[in-house]
Amino acid sequence: MATKVVNLETASYSEAIREAADVLTRGGLVVFPTETVYGVGACATLPEAVERLRVLKSRTDGKPFTVHIGQKSAIHRFVPEMAGTARRLVEKTWPGPLTIIFEVADAQATPVIQETSPEHVPAMYHNGTIGVRCPDDHVASDLLTQTSLPVVAASANLAGNPAPVTAEEALADLDGRVDLVLDAGRSRYAKASTIVQVDAKGYRVLREGILDERTIRRLNRTNFLLVCSGNTCRSPMAAGLLRRLLAEKLQCREDELAEKGYYVESAGTGACSGAPATPEAIEVLRAKGIEIAGHRSQPLTLEQINRADYIFAMTGRQAENIKSLAAHAEHRVQKVGDEDIEDPIGGTEEEYRACANQIESALRRRLEEVVL
């Protein structure tokens, strides 16, 4: 069998992508670039194509290949329900060099199987799991998005040989064994993707690649940042209240939040360092069973903004100040409530209590919008 090679630097790009998608949907094998290594794909709902891929890769174990998707929003066709670690890693790493193995309780109930046939479950799912990759490469993304059938893929090499980082390296193994090769030059990272398995308890790194264990651990965190002006009353109260509300929602103790990947901190746009929370703030929260006596103020920093997933400001003006400091974080900044929460500094304990209640109500509404 002759293998056709299309150089994307000289060929019509749109025609090449259409041709590759057509080859896949007719049962062919296509070699395509990703940001890590070159892959070889087949349509998962065409048994003859999957069998060709199995023979090519000497895979006799019956386990499925990794599903590849062009847009991360497509994950819901294969994994309808995600929360916790799975959701965080999808949101923070895709598209990117991370293969995620998800738990799926009922593969036959997934949209992709409902749209096709239960006979295709073994081509994508195994023992209640599925491996999915969303490459950060425009060629791979366009091909996978344009192909009308789900695609499974593996590295474009024979078993035991190094994964190829150029089309030439892929052809050295697969020339005459595949139908089409899309040549887009050397892959960006020239290194395999990281593989992580996730479940309700967390994650396990099965193979380190571009992303190491330390990076995965950092990406698995969800960071909340509460911001006021002086960081001695509103934002410390908000941080204490949010920890309590998160623990309630996650059905855990507050000291278990970090273990589950949730962190809460506070800062002030005009704060000095080291000041304690006001006595009124301490007493009002103590009455709610929350202790913030150990709090010490800190000024808002760019580092805090950069690591925060959710940034809640007490007023619209503070939200705008944060956005002006870090325009790239604009989509993560919002007022904690619909109305500004005014500073109770210098007020009575009753005014502090009303402020704390206002913050608590606002945080409860915000947490309804956050998928944990």
Q: Is 255 a catalytic residue?
A: no
Crossing angle of helices 234-250 and 279-286, in 10° steps, is 20
Residue 115 structure tokens: 């749209």
Which of 186, 221, 343, 364 is an active site residue? 343
Provide the 3-class DSSP secondary structure of residue 217: helix
Which of 133, 234, 332, 353 is an active site residue? 234
Taking the C-alpha atoms of residue 292 and residue 310, their distance in angstroms, rounded to an integer, is 21
Q: Is 199 a catalytic residue?
A: no
Which helix H or strand E contains 76, and what residues bound it? helix 75-78
Count of C-beta atoms within a 10 Å radius of residue 106: 10
Q: What are phi and psi of 100, to 5 degrees?
A: -115, 130
Strand arrangement of the beta sheet that strand 310-313 belongs to: 262-268, 222-228, 310-313, 333-335
- HSE (side-chain half, CA atoms, 13 Å) at 303: 3
Q: Is 253 a catalytic residue?
A: no
Which of 134, 228, 233, 355 is an active site residue? 228
Write down the residue that tokens 């999957």 correspond to: 50
Residues belonging to the active site: 228, 234, 343
